[in-house]
Amino acid sequence: MINIHEMTIQDYDTVIALWQSVEGVGLSDADAREPIARYLERNPGLSFTAWDGDNLVGAVLCGHDGRRGYVHHLTVRESHRRQGIGKALAERCLAILKAEGIDKCHLFVFTSNANAIAFWKGIGWTQRVDLYVMSRYTGDGSQ
């Protein structure tokens, strides 16, 4: 049986190892322990882990900025895919966002990540063709 729990910073080492073990999750300095701790503190009750006994098999970060929700890094261990765990994690996030009065959620997915795009479409998400993501460092980008 799969159990889903709220993610805490105590899960960090296990979760980052899972994210690092799969393709399709873009990790950066923003995924170091301190920014993830800050993210979880700013978005309590919105990020989740999935467990098969003591084995971490899934994880997702979710938060909102008061107007829109964002999901990041949804991952299911390869051995446990196509069992509905990814969908269960994503739906848990949407349910909490809805309960907090957030009526829409966005996510970023690499254009090369065909499996994830098929997954998100399969569970009812719409691929935006009217938007590009634009990014800039707040400083000079040297650190």
Ligand X SMILES: CC(C)(COP(=O)(O)OP(=O)(O)OC[C@H]1O[C@@H](n2cnc3c(N)ncnc32)[C@H](O)[C@@H]1OP(=O)(O)O)[C@@H](O)C(=O)NCCC(=O)NCCS
Interface residue list for ligand X (CB under 6 A): 22, 24-25, 74-76, 81-87, 107, 109, 113, 115-116, 118-119, 122-123
Q: Note whether 62 and 71 are within 8 A (CB).
A: yes
Cβ proximity to ligand X, 28 vs 138, nearer residue: 28
**What is the C-alpha to C-alpha distance for residues 76 and 120, in angstroms, rounded to an integer?**
13
| Shortest CB 140 distance to ligand X, Å | 29
Cβ proximity to ligand X, 69 vs 86, nearer residue: 86
CA distances from 54 to 3, 34, 51, 123 (A): 10, 25, 6, 27
| Shortest CB 102 distance to ligand X, Å | 19
Cβ proximity to ligand X, 112 vs 138, nearer residue: 112
Cβ proximity to ligand X, 129 vs 141, nearer residue: 129
| Shortest CB 142 distance to ligand X, Å | 28
Q: Note whether 61 and 39 are within 8 A (CB).
A: yes
Q: Is 49 helix (H, G, I), strand (E, B) or coil?
A: strand
Segment holding 35, helix H or strand E? helix 33-42
Cβ proximity to ligand X, 111 vs 138, nearer residue: 111
| Shortest CB 4 distance to ligand X, Å | 12
| Shortest CB 11 distance to ligand X, Å | 16
32 residue type, one letter: A
Tell me whether strands 55-64 and 69-76 are parallel, antiparallel or unpaired.
antiparallel
